Structure formats: structure tokens, C-alpha cells
């Protein structure tokens, strides 16, 4: 049962990420804004899911499934390689820093908001 919830949530999360990527497509030509946007907002969302202490079923669908699939490490990694190749070291470094600082800060903020930090 948990597996079905994870699968449904993950399908929706992947589609949502794809739609964000389509919407930001023009901007993403120079800098991977779409991946940055989903990773930072998704880190905030997962912080909320953890901090709110949702029941296991809801956590599987929303946390493991939707948010887990909405955010992506593999596209981050490939974006980073491409950015380093095409745009150089400085945009690549900025991309890493923005994802890491943004993701950690967003997750920590959500945990703090829910009294879990």
C-alpha cells in the first residue's frame, strides 16, 4: 500500500518538475534555473513534511513520493557538468552554491517554522 502511494506521489512530482522545466525553458538556456527552483522549493516542502510529523501514509505519498521525485540530484549533477563545460567555472560554482545554500536554508527554515529545528 505504501508502495502505491510512493508511486503515485512520485509520478506527480516528476510531472510537476517537468512542467517547471518547460515553463523556465528559455531562461534555462544560460543557467539551470528550473532545477535550482525545484530543488530549493522541494527542500522547503520536505522540511515541512518532516517538521509537521505527518502520519506514515501521508509522508510516503507527499515526502518520499512527490517531493522526492520533484527534486533531483541527477539533473543537478548533469546541469553542473554542462554549465562548467559551456559557461565556465564561475557560473558552475554559483550553481552549486545556490543549490546547496538554498536547499539547506529552505529545509532548515521549514523545520524551524514547524518547531523541529
Partner 1 sequence: MLLAVAAGGALGGLARHGLASAFPVRAGAFPWTTLVVNVSGSFVLGVVAVLAAARWPGRRLLRPFLGVGFCGGYTTWSTAMAETVLLARDHHAPTATAYLVAGLLAAPAAALFGLLLTAARLDPGGGT
Residue owning grid cell 508502495? 3
Footprint on this chain of partner 1 (rule: CB under 8 A)? 2-3, 6-15, 17-18, 21, 38-39, 42-43, 45-47, 50, 60, 64-65, 67-78, 80-81, 96, 99-100, 103-104, 106-108, 111, 117
Cell readout for 88 is 565556465
Minimal distance, residue 89 CB to partner 1, in Å: 13
The smaller minimum CB distance to partner 1, of residues 26 and 35, is found at: 35
CA distances from 62 to 48, 69, 79 (A): 10, 10, 26
Q: Smallest gap, in angstroms, from Cβ of residue 49 to partner 1? A: 9
How many alpha carbons lie under 13 Å from residue 100 in its C-beta half-sphere?
8
Amino acid at each position: 500500500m505504501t508502495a502505491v502511494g510512493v508511486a503515485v506521489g512520485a509520478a506527480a512530482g516528476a510531472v510537476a518538475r517537468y512542467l517547471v522545466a518547460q515553463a523556465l525553458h528559455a531562461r534555462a538556456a544560460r543557467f539551470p534555473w528550473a532545477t535550482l527552483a525545484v530543488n530549493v522549493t522541494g527542500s522547503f516542502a520536505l522540511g515541512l513534511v518532516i517538521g509537521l510529523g505527518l502520519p506514515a501514509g501521508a509522508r510516503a505519498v507527499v515526502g518520499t513520493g512527490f517531493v522526492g521525485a520533484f527534486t533531483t540530484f541527477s539533473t543537478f549533477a548533469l546541469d553542473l557538468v554542462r554549465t562548467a563545460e559551456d559557461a565556465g567555472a564561475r557560473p558552475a560554482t554559483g550553481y552549486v552554491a545556490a543549490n546547496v545554500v538554498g536547499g539547506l536554508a529552505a529545509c532548515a527554515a521549514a523545520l524551524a517554522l514547524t518547531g523541529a529545528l
